[in-house]
């Protein structure tokens, strides 16, 4: 469009210039010569007007063309791009359909399934690398922010009051989130391997478990891996007996601080403390702090409960046989942790009340529970 417009401007200007110049008078009067020169200068000026107009025309035309191109190329408005987008969508849909058939064993072009599988493996590798890199970056930054005050100060710089605390809280939150995800993933693996209760307990104690899978492959779970052991602790406590949990406390490989916290939290939420009073209350805090590691520590917890008068007849009836056996043994042995001897008499009185054949509690006791209470 610009070529005919500019050609028209130049042609019209040349025509106008010629007309003006030809209108100059041809007389020889004194004033005619000056008038002729002026008219010729005016005609020449008209001839160069297109040189000034052309840039304006080009700039205006460019803006018009951009707006026109924007309309044509808009994938939501332009007809050509809509057609192209639709064609690409149809082609992609057909490719996905063919890949789906190939992966599901339907008849397809020779080699298509292997090609699709190679592509999927490649995508999985790249995706996993990106995910692991992002996890490693988050772990590094969060760990550094927690331990390095100078780095944390840079993170908090310009943040105003409380910025350092927010940076620290953010770092701790990121680390906790990463740990939760790792434990959850380990728990899924444990569920998939369908461990027996004894295998689960061994894994929670920090031992390795090796199993042969249905496909004949051998797979090993490492009890020394932090996330795996935490996941095993959660599951072992949730499904274990009082005896299992006591064994987990006393017969385990050394636990880390975070593993002790997981163990304490799992015991608290499991409801097992209703069957083992000595595992609740202050004992949970001791477990969290890593202060319960052997039978003597459990006996000390029982002695503390006796001192505090925690064993009413109803509580004794709720404790399982294993817990009652520990209470009986500690009370009879005169544990050094029992500083109030009068509490032994109170314990015996509560035991007698629980065994009272006329009371309602005795009917809830098993023979094994009654045997332990009678021994008090």
- Is residue 29 assigned to a domain? yes
- Pairwise CA distance, residues 328 & 190, whole Å: 37
Whether 97 is covered by a domain: the verdict is no
d(CA 286, CA 100): 56
Q: Is the residue at 10 inside a domain? A: yes
Average pLDDT, the chain: 90
Residue 41 lies in a domain: yes
Domain count of the fold of the chain = 2
Last residue of a domain, one of 15, 30, 57: 57
68: its two tokens: 């026109």
Of 178, 176, 168, the residue nearest 134 (C-alpha): 178
Q: Which of the pair, 64 or 274, is modelled with greater confidence?
A: 274
CA distances, 243 to each of 46, 90, 107, 190, 259 (Å): 111, 64, 58, 22, 19
- Is it the case that residue 119 has pLDDT exceeding 90? yes
137 assigned to some structural domain:
yes
Point out the domain boundary residue: 190, 212, 240. Answer: 190
pLDDT digits (tens, 9 = 90+) for 317-331: 999 999 999 999 999
Lowest mean pLDDT among 116-125, 127-136, 206-215: 206-215
pLDDT band for 97, please (50, 70, 90 cuts).
very high
Do the domain assignments include residue 50?
yes
pLDDT value, residue 9: 87
Q: Report pTM.
A: 0.72
In tens, the pLDDT along 308-320 reads 999 999 999 999 9
**Could you tell me the residue range of the domain that residue 164 belongs to?**
129-190
pLDDT in tens, 285-297: 999 999 999 999 9
Query: In this structure, is residue 52 part of a structural domain?
Result: yes
What average pLDDT does range 79-84 have in this prediction?
73
Task: Please identify, among 172, 190, 208, the residue that sits at the C-terminal boundary of a domain.
Answer: 190
**pLDDT, tens digit (0-9, with 9 covering 90-100), for 328-356:** 999 998 899 999 889 999 999 999 999 99
Mean of pLDDT values over 226-250: 96
> How confident is the model at residue 26, as a pLDDT?
65
Report if residue 28 sits inside a domain: yes
């Amino acid at each position: 469009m610009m070529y005919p417009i500019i050609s028209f401007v130049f042609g019209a200007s040349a025509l106008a210039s010629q007309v003006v110049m030809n209108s100059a008078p041809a007389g020889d009067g004194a004033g005619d010569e000056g008038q002729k020169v002026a008219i010729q200068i005016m005609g020449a000026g008209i001839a160069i007007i297109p040189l000034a107009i052309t840039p304006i025309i080009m700039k205006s035309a460019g803006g018009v063309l951009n707006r026109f191109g924007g309309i044509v190329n808009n994938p939501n408005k332009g007809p050509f791009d809509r057609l192209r987008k639709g064609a690409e969508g149809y082609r992609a849909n057909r490719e996905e359909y063919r890949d789906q058939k190939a992966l599901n064993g339907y008849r397809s072009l020779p080699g298509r399934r292997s090609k699709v599988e190679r592509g999927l493996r490649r995508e999985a590798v790249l995706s996993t690398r990106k995910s692991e890199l992002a996890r490693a970056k988050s772990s590094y930054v969060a760990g550094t922010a927690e331990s390095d005050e100078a780095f944390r100060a840079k993170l908090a710089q310009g943040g105003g009051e409380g910025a350092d605390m927010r940076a620290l809280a953010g770092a701790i939150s990121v680390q906790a989130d990463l740990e939760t995800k790792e434990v959850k993933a380990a728990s899924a693996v444990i569920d998939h391997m369908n461990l027996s209760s004894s295998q689960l307990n061994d894994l929670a104690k920090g031992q390795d478990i090796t199993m042969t899978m249905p496909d004949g492959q051998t797979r090993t779970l490492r009890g020394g891996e932090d996330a795996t052991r935490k996941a095993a602790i959660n599951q072992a406590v949730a499904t274990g007996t009082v005896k299992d949990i006591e064994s987990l406390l006393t017969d385990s490989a050394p636990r880390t601080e975070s593993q002790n916290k997981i163990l304490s939290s799992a015991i608290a939420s499991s409801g097992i403390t209703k069957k083992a009073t000595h595992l609740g209350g202050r004992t949970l805090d001791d477990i969290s702090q890593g202060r319960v590691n052997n039978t003597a520590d459990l006996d000390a917890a029982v002695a503390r409960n006796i001192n505090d008068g925690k064993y009413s007849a109803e509580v004794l009836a709720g404790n399982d046989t294993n817990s009652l056996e520990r209470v009986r043994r500690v009370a009879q042995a005169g544990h050094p942790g029992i500083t109030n001897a009068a509490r032994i008499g109170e314990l015996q009185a509560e035991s007698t009340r629980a065994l009272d054949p006329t009371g309602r509690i005795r009917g809830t006791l098993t023979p094994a529970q009654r045997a332990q209470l009678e021994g008090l």
